[in-house]
Homo-oligomer: A and B are copies of this chain.
Amino acid sequence: MNTLEEIISENRKYLDRGEVASYIPELKKANKNALGLYITTLNGEEYFAGDYDTKFTIQSISKIITLALAIMDNGKDYVFSKVGMEPTTEAFNSIIDLELKNLNKPLNPMINAGAIATVSMIKGKDKNEVFNRILEFTKKLCGNENLKVDESVYTSENRTGNRNRALAYFMKSTGIIEKDVEEVLYAYFKQCSIEVTCKDLSRIATVFANEGVLPWNEERVIPKEIARIVKTIMATCGMYDASGEFAVNIGLPSKSGVGGGILAVAPGKMGIGIVGPSLDKKGNSIGGVEVLKDLSEKFDLNIF
């Protein structure tokens, strides 16, 4: 058994201590016992182990894609006039900070409020064009023409997404969101419902590891400065309210989603995709975090 398979095997023991996401019915169907990883290096080597072919919805990991796209559409200054850059200790779906902080600006683009504000800035003549641009950009980043939305997850998100509606109407009332709320939520719920595998995540990660250039054909798809901004925000805010601890222990710009995925960037080296739907209390893949800790130590990937 190779190193990666060993890392997966040793960390399966954590899966029992977590739970799959239950806030929408469809996510409860995920396989709690799955744990897998996929690594793509900048020179094109690929490594994988465990349940790497498990499919899952991208969920909050999509927030780094829409952040890059929103900045490319509007410029850094405009985007950060609407959304902050500061980490928060509130939970990802918190509404408190919106009311307490100056300007009612969501604190950063990785919490739900900030991500909804971010997607509201992506250009498009209607909600379909907005989402289509997001989907096409995501396909480009992972070089996978077959990506599609898991419609049953989307339907479930849309039907039960009242907390996100509350966040969006709050921001509509304060002028942060200018478009129609339901139009914005359509794109947001759709982007969260894109179905991916670890391989897709690892390839998206290589683009950031490569400063915005697709490693497989040298095409620049994200300006270098924007790629760096996204990596920085991943490093400080990407793992919900466990971001600080993750930085100390692992030190890789990463983003997790409640579907069980984690995307991690090792700058100049590789992109890592993880799946493990059993989540800890903060909403991060409980086995995935442990796997990343082992990878970071074994291959000396910590950026700090």
Q: Could you tell me which A residues sit within 8 Å of B by CB distance? A: 84-89, 94-101, 107-108, 162-163, 165-170, 172-173, 181, 228-229, 231-233, 235-237, 241-245, 247-248, 251, 253, 267, 302-304
**Contact B248–A243 (Cβ < 8 Å):** no
Select one of B84, B101, B166, B303 contacting A170, CB under 8 A: B166
Q: How far is the CB of A219 from chain B (nearest CB, A)?
A: 22
Complex Cα gap A235–B95 (Å): 26
How many chain copies does the complex carry? 4
Q: A99-B96, A162-B169, A170-B95 are in contact. Are A87 and B232 (CB under 8 A)?
A: no
**Contact A86–B89 (Cβ < 8 Å):** yes
**Contact A247–B228 (Cβ < 8 Å):** no
Q: A167-B166, A170-B162 are in contact. Are A247 and B236 (CB under 8 A)?
A: yes
Q: Which residue of B lies closest to A91 (CB)?
A: B99
Q: How far is the CB of A21 from chain B (nearest CB, A)?
A: 15
For A98, list chain B residues within 8 Å (CB). 95
**Contact A304–B235 (Cβ < 8 Å):** yes
Complex Cα gap A172–B166 (Å): 9
Q: A89-B86, A162-B173, A163-B170 are in contact. Are A235 and B253 (CB under 8 A)?
A: no
For A228, list chain B residues within 8 Å (CB). 251, 302, 304
**Contact B97–A89 (Cβ < 8 Å):** yes
Complex Cα gap A245–B76 (Å): 12
Q: How far is the CB of A160 from chain B (nearest CB, A)?
A: 8
**Contact B247–A232 (Cβ < 8 Å):** yes
A-B pairs with lowest CB-CB distance, top 9: A162-B173, A87-B87, A166-B170, A86-B244, A166-B169, A165-B169, A163-B173, A85-B244, A232-B304
For A229, list chain B residues within 8 Å (CB). 248
**Contact B85–A86 (Cβ < 8 Å):** no
For A253, list chain B residues within 8 Å (CB). 304
Complex Cα gap A172–B164 (Å): 11
Complex Cα gap A5–B244 (Å): 36
Q: A169-B162, A173-B163, A229-B248 are in contact. Are A241 and B86 (CB under 8 A)?
A: yes
